Amino acid sequence: MTKTDTGAKVGLMERLRQGSVICAEGYLFECERRGYLQAGAFVPEVVVEHPEVIAELHREFVHAGSDIVEAFTYYGHREKLRLIGKEHLLEPLNRNALEIARQVAQETGTLVAGDLSNTNLFTDDPSSHKTVRAMFDEQLAWAVEAGADLLIGETFSYLGEALIAVEAMRATGLPTVVTMVFHQEPNTRDGFSATETAKRLEDAGADVVGLNCGRGPRTMLPLLKEVRAAVTCKVAALPVPYRTTPEQPTMQSLRDPSTNVRPFPTALDPFVCTRYEMGDFAREAHELGVSYLGVCCGAGPHHIRSVAEALGRTPPASRYSPDMSKHAFLGSDPTLKKENRDYAERL
């Protein structure tokens, strides 16, 4: 599925026509957990300081089933770097991230994606639109130069900003994926419903539209149904792996029930979904007609493997999928010691 009869790499849209595509996101949280990125700033300096960490994480996600190596340039734009006094790192950060992704994609036969994200500068003021477009254009120029196979614009909470991203990405001629984040309200920050947002993005020329980040599986699915019904193009879904609820629909709105303290972003551990919950989500979303699937902030390779297996795949990591029949105490193998099985029952 990764190459044509002539040996050429199969692109995003052809893969989607053939079936489903998996894209692993969530690099910010995973690098922070591993001790290579600072929570709060959440700027991906790790691609400059420890490129080997990102290369290995890309490989782990591909090993687990990801079809796309997404360059780790989320929040790697001019505004975020300015806020931490490191605007001089803008070009080397983007170029390094893209080169790391390109190398891993080349060695694994996967697609490499350039990445744009919310800028936190977009307002109703038209002058902000020009600033945002200029920021997107400079990142896209590096992505095109690096040989990106597709472009991703993600985590937009303003439809207006997402439309600027689509326009900029389309100008490159590369396939375009754009995903929105809906916070506690079922509308964008500029007041558009999921249905209207999806229609507007499709009309603007996005090849794939959908949702990512913010919401966990249970609270993303209702909006996802609206998006799928609203458009004819391919649809994307990349939730966070946290047990959000209708009362607390996003990871940012979750509260510790014993203290009422907000755990976002560094104490979300008690809310993490199991691999099986993420597999269930992928199965349900796919049954809705969603063909571009993944997991966002908080994702681990085991989540991606479960998404892949829910779609009927057996990525290399499936060799190590659980088989509890072999467990010394909990296993079902008849050759296991009876006293161990009896003890397990008491446990």
Query: Does residue 342 lie within any of the structural domains?
Result: no
Structure tokens of 213? 């980040």
Smallest Cα–Cα separation from 295: which of 66, 109, 104? 66
Q: What is the pLDDT of residue 334?
A: 74
Q: Predicted confidence band at 330 (pLDDT cuts at 50, 70, 90)?
A: confident
Query: Does residue 240 lie within any of the structural domains?
Result: yes
Smallest Cα–Cα separation from 22: which of 53, 55, 63? 63
Q: Predicted confidence band at 5 (pLDDT cuts at 50, 70, 90)?
A: low
CA–CA dist 63, 73 (Å, integer): 21
- What's the average model confidence in pLDDT over 264-288? 97
Q: What is the pLDDT of residue 335?
A: 73
Q: What is the pLDDT of residue 1?
A: 44
Query: Does residue 165 lie within any of the structural domains?
Result: yes
* DSSP class of 206: -
CA–CA dist 278, 285 (Å, integer): 10
**Domain range for 65:** 12-314
Query: Does residue 231 lie within any of the structural domains?
Result: yes
Query: Does residue 1 lie within any of the structural domains?
Result: no
- pLDDT tens digits, residue range 6-36? 557 899 999 999 999 999 998 999 999 999 9
Query: Does residue 215 lie within any of the structural domains?
Result: yes
136: helix, coil or strand? helix
**Residue 278 · residue 222 · CB < 8 Å:** no
Q: Is the preceding omega at residue 239 within 30 degrees of 0, hence cis?
A: no
**Is the pLDDT confidence value at 191 over 90?**
yes
Query: Does residue 207 lie within any of the structural domains?
Result: yes
CA–CA dist 264, 185 (Å, integer): 18
**CATH code at 74?**
3.20.20.330
CA–CA dist 31, 277 (Å, integer): 23
Q: Predicted confidence band at 332 (pLDDT cuts at 50, 70, 90)?
A: confident
- What's the average model confidence in pLDDT over 89-115? 98
Number of domains in the chain: 1
- What's the average model confidence in pLDDT over 40-47? 95
pTM for the structure as a whole: 0.94
Query: Mean pLDDT of all residues in the chain?
Result: 94
- What's the average model confidence in pLDDT over 215-221? 98
CA–CA dist 322, 301 (Å, integer): 14
Smallest Cα–Cα separation from 198: which of 218, 219, 182? 182
- B/e letters for 210-229, b = 16+ CB within 10 Å, e = fewer, are bbbbbbbbbbbbebbbbbbe
Query: Does residue 91 lie within any of the structural domains?
Result: yes
**Is the pLDDT confidence value at 333 over 90?**
no
The backbone torsions φ and ψ at residue 24, rounded to the nearest 5 degrees and listed phi first, read -85, 130
